[in-house]
Amino acid sequence: MHKKIALIRGDGIGPEIVSSAVRVLDKIASVFNHDFTFVEAPMGGNAIDTFGEPLPQSTIDTCLSSDAVLLGAVGGKKWDSLPGVLRPESGLLGIRKAMKVYSNIRPAVLYPSLKNRSPLRDDIAEKGFDLVIVRELTGGIYFGERGYRKGKFGREAFDTECYSEIEIERIVRSAFEIALTRSGKVTSIDKANVLESSRLWRYVFHEVAQDYPNVSTEDMLVDNAAMQLAKNPAQFDVIVTSNMFGDILSDLSSALTGSIGLLPSASLGDSTVGIYEPVHGSAPDLSPNTANPLGTILSAAMMLQYSFDMVSEADSVKSAVQQTLNRGFRTADIFSDGNILCSTSDITDKILQFIK
Ligand code: IPM
Ligand code: MG
């Protein structure tokens, strides 16, 4: 099968981890007889330096005309003092919006071989967990009305959380569809004791639930959810939540797996064209060739599965990652005594060997 993949390498460790994932995709193409072509799509700080803007129109066009987008990470100190719309992060929000990828799927699994790296107490880590956060990605406070104004006590700044029924319905529906392929439970996380937008969220969640009689449902307030994730993450299966709550809770969940470097994500809308990126950021302070590429490689596996319907190919990548970890090969962020310390490129070499 032929597929065109846009590469947004980004800043910091972005280019290194994307290169690792491209090597994995090339290996998959040769083993399974596919033809993947890659096109460059500059975005973030590097695009600001070259084009004077974080998200050039040509990048949007390249992404929209591809079968999927693989993204590393954007941002860095160099661009931190730019005004909001010119920051690398606004390129990221812009491409998500332009591609209408409202559903951000972030699985978090505590692998048995990494239990000792989890900050959880032994008896909690022992139970393991396998959850998926379905985060709304193109609405809410990230995209609401915002600005500065002169208030009673001087300058004020504001951001607005606003959700329409349609936005809630479609993200909730994607969570229910995912639950049907798993154990069949969805926890909707909100702040309905305070926020009007959360009350509408909760109402729509239960309306949609009526179409899924075999999926069990639960509402949880976000503050309690943070506590429950730390105390008993095994209770969760599918979590559905707003853009900002999902951002925060997915970092928490990833830390519980041992390292944020491990977590992949898929962002999808109504078509199969998605954006695949690790949950972590651009980590500009890491030394060259030390970053953990597994989150990006597992994002490529999600691309194979969700955008290309290549399930065996995706399984082959996931199993190669498992075998690499099981044999004790580790980058610095997940290294413990007795492991074999690997650079970014070393661990990628190991994964390639396990793809057959
Ligand atoms: C993420 C990141 C981004 C977000 C930032 C970099 C804008 O934290 O993908 O989780 O908040 O969505
Ligand atoms: Mg985040």
Domains observed in the chain: 1-103+260-356 (3.40.718.10), 119-256 (3.40.718.10)
Q: Are 32 and 317 in contact (CB under 8 A)?
A: no
Q: What is the position in ligand 1's atom list of the atom closest to the CA of 74?
A: 6
Ligand 2: centre distance to CA 248 (Å): 6
Q: Is the pLDDT of residue 250 over 90?
A: yes
pLDDT at 121: 96
Helix (H) or strand (E) holding 216, with range, is strand 216-221
Q: Is the pLDDT of residue 113 over 90?
A: no
**Catalytic site residue from 11, 190, 237, 247:** 247
Which residue in 43, 160, 147 sits closest to 96, CA to CA? Answer: 43
- The pLDDT-based confidence of 112 (bands split at 50, 70, 90) is confident
Give the global pTM: 0.95
Is 223 in the active site?
A: yes
Q: Is the pLDDT of residue 111 over 90?
A: no
Q: How far apart are CA 334 and CA 297, in angstroms?
A: 16
16 Cβ inside 6 Å of ligand 1: no
Average pLDDT over residues 327-345: 96
Tokens of 137: 């990605």
Average pLDDT over residues 58-75: 98
Average pLDDT over residues 235-262: 96
Q: What is the position in ligand 1's atom list of the atom closest to the CA of 137?
A: 12
70 Cβ inside 6 Å of ligand 1: no
Burial state string for 146-157 with b = 16 or more CB within 10 A and e = fewer than 16: eeeeeeeeeeee
Q: Give the residue, by CA position, lying nearest to ligand 1 atom 12.
A: 247
Task: Please state, rounded to an integer, the average pLDDT across all residues of the chain.
Answer: 97
Ligand 1: centre distance to CA 279 (Å): 8
How many Cβ atoms sit within 10 Å of the Cβ of residue 122? 9
- Maximum Cα–Cα distance for the chain, whole Å? 67
Average pLDDT over residues 234-254: 97
11 Cβ inside 6 Å of ligand 1: no
Helix (H) or strand (E) holding 127, with range, is helix 122-127
Q: Give the residue, by CA position, lying nearest to ligand 1 atom 11.
A: 247
Is 337 in the active site?
A: no
Secondary structure class of 103 (helix, strand, coil): strand
**Catalytic site residue from 251, 346, 349, 350:** 251
Cα–Cα–Cα angle for 263, 269, 275, rounded to 5 degrees: 40
Average pLDDT over residues 207-213: 98
- The pLDDT-based confidence of 335 (bands split at 50, 70, 90) is very high
Which residue in 306, 302, 343 sits closest to 17, CA to CA? Answer: 343
Is 150 in the active site?
A: no
Average pLDDT over residues 229-252: 97
* Cα–Cα distance list, 241 to 21, 141, 169, 329 (Å): 28, 13, 12, 35
89 Cβ inside 6 Å of ligand 1: yes
**Catalytic site residue from 142, 163, 212, 306:** 142
251 Cβ inside 6 Å of ligand 1: no
**Residue 191 Cα to chain centre, angstroms:** 22
Average pLDDT over residues 271-288: 96
Average pLDDT over residues 175-204: 97
Q: Give the residue, by CA position, lying nearest to ligand 1 atom 10.
A: 247
Q: How far apart are CA 266 and CA 101, in angstroms?
A: 9
Which residue in 79, 93, 92, 72 sits closest to 20, CA to CA? Answer: 72
Ligand nearest to the CA of 143: 1
48 Cβ inside 6 Å of ligand 1: no
